């Protein structure tokens, strides 16, 4: 069992094994991932030697969360290029591995564009592969910087909205270092509050069916030493009713031009609860998650996942091996509705915090302005 002890005041690295790293052993370059399906039991690495292996790792959620998908996608293109595979074919497969998180296609496009630009300048295949790798590394660094700036802006906003301090924050899914080149998005804000002694408690939704909250966010919260409590998703209503939530902080997989937010299924019900209980509902995401090409929430493609994720309680490894590997919790043959994400309309979102600042109230104009500042089309 990996170290799960919560240690008050101690702020360890989010994981012992880096979430993702590029390596060049004599056999050829590889992308090494921390296999998130195995957390919290163990920190095990997964070595991808080609783009199809990475596509499988993305589908099985070994690597996951919008910003990390973008970074992984970019390295995946670099991997295909460095190993002499068809880069456009690899880019297409990687970008299509999961449809909702727009960061994935943004990352893939950045590395592929760098590859083609190098060729267009007269570079050879080796130089083009190096350009793709440089683009992936650059995106990785930028994401770490964006994460730090989101934490600053997010904490400033929290302090403005909740001047008393002692924040009790509810979060959903997983938005920490496991999804990022840095310390994440929404979780990074909670972590900043914790470090400054301003976080009273992090409420962690377990996030059925794949338990990203229980397996991953609780893992990161425990290692950071913050006070946290895990709850089932359906306990959130009673928590609001008891007046125990000061703010909701979540990440996003895609934000449409009108400010509609696609995030892990279960986010929308939290937004409805937050509105009813007059609690701020704050979305924290880098500008690369804003997709000005998607006009509104109805145009966002929501990934549908296999029904067995709902009809079975999965041992982490079963997520990879598929149906029949978990413990059945419904009669055989039961159909399941299993969207991976839901969409929250902008009118329920108090603020969207990015590395360029916050938009509140959430308007198309405000979002477009932030994207303009970041040079993100
Ligand atoms: O299916 P997952 O685990 O990839 O879903 C991840 C989420 O929904 C996160 O909240 C989102 O990507 C934002 S992470 C900064």
DSSP class per residue in 135-191? HHHHHHHHHHHHHHHHHHHHHHHHHHH-TT--EEEEE-S--SGGGSSSS-SHHHHHH
Partners of 43 in the β-ladder: none
Nearest CA to ligand 1 atom 6: 65
Residues with CB under 6 A from ligand 1: 61, 64-67, 101, 173, 175, 179, 184-185, 212, 251-253, 263-264, 340
Tens digit of pLDDT at every position of the chain (377 positions): 333 333 334 556 788 889 999 999 999 999 999 999 999 999 999 999 999 999 999 999 999 999 999 999 999 999 999 999 999 999 999 999 999 999 999 999 999 999 999 999 999 999 999 999 999 999 999 999 999 999 999 999 999 999 887 899 999 999 999 999 999 999 999 999 999 999 999 999 999 999 999 999 999 999 999 999 999 999 999 999 999 999 999 999 999 999 999 999 999 999 999 999 999 999 999 999 999 999 999 999 999 999 999 999 876 555 545 566 788 999 999 999 999 999 999 999 999 999 999 999 999 999 999 999 888 87
Q: Which pLDDT belongs to residue 5?
A: 36
pLDDT at 200: 96
ipTM, 2 dp:
0.98
Rounded Cα distance, 133 and 180, in Å: 18
Centroid of ligand 1 to alpha carbon of 174 (angstroms): 6
Ligand 1: distance of its center to the CA of 61 in Å?
10
Please tell me whether 98 is known to bind a ligand. yes
Residues 37, 63, 59, 282, CA torsion sign: positive
User: Residue 273 has which token pair?
Assistant: 């609860």
Residue 139 near residue 74 (C-beta atoms within 8 A)? yes
Task: Give the position, in ligand 1's atom list, of the atom nearest the Cα of 101.
Answer: 12
The pLDDT, as a whole number, for residue 165 is 78
Residue 278: exposure state from Cβ atoms within 10 A (0-12, 13-18, ≥19): exposed
Residue of 171, 189, 264, 291 with the most ligand 1 atoms within 8 Å of its CB, for mutation = 264
Q: What is the pLDDT of residue 9?
A: 42
> Dihedral of CA 81/113/96/325: which sign?
positive
Rounded Cα–Cα distance for residues 228 and 273 (Å): 20
Distance between Cα 71 and ligand 1 center (Å): 14
Give me the active site residues, please. 253
- Check if the beta carbon of residue 368 is closer than 8 Å to that of residue 290: no
Predicted confidence at residue 207, as pLDDT, reads 97
pLDDT confidence of residue 353: 98
């Amino acid at each position: 069992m990996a170290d799960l002890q919560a240690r008050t005041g101690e702020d360890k690295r989010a994981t012992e094994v880096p979430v993702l790293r590029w390596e060049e052993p004599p056999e050829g370059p590889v992308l090494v991932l921390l296999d998130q399906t195995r957390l919290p039991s163990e920190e095990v690495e997964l070595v991808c030697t080609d783009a199809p292996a990475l596509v499988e790792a993305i589908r099985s959620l070994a690597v996951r969360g919008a910003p990390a998908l973008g970074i992984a996608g970019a390295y995946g293109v670099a991997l295909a290029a460095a190993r002499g595979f068809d880069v456009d074919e690899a880019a297409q497969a990687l970008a299509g591995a999961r449809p909702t998180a727009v960061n994935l296609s943004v990352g893939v496009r950045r590395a592929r564009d760098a590859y083609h630009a190098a060729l267009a300048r007269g570079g050879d295949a080796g130089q083009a592969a190096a350009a793709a790798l440089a683009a992936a590394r650059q995106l990785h660094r930028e994401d770490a910087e964006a994460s730090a700036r989101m934490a600053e802006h997010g904490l400033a906003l929290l302090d403005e909205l909740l001047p008393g301090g002692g924040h009790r924050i509810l979060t959903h899914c997983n938005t920490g270092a496991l999804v990022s080149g840095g310390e994440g998005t929404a979780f990074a804000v909670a972590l900043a509050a914790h470090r400054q002694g301003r976080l009273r408690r992090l409420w962690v939704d377990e996030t059925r069916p794949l338990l990203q909250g229980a397996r991953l966010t609780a893992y990161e919260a425990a290692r950071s030493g913050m006070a946290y409590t895990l709850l089932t998703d359906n306990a959130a209503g009673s928590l609001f009713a008891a007046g125990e939530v000061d703010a909701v902080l979540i990440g996003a997989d895609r934000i449409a031009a009108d400010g509609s937010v696609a995030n892990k299924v279960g986010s929308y019900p939290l937004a409805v609860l937050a509105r009813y209980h007059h609690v701020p509902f704050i979305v924290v995401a880098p500008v690369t998650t804003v997709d000005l090409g998607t006009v509104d929430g109805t145009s966002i493609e929501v990934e549908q996942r296999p029904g067995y994720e709902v009809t079975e309680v999965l041992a982490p490894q079963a997520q990879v091996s598929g149906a029949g590997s978990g413990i059945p919790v419904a009669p055989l043959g039961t159909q399941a509705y299993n969207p991976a994400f839901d969409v929250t309309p902008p009118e329920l979102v108090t603020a969207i915090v990015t590395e360029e600042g916050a938009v509140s109230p959430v308007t198309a104009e405000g979002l477009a302005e932030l994207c303009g500042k970041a040079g993100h089309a």
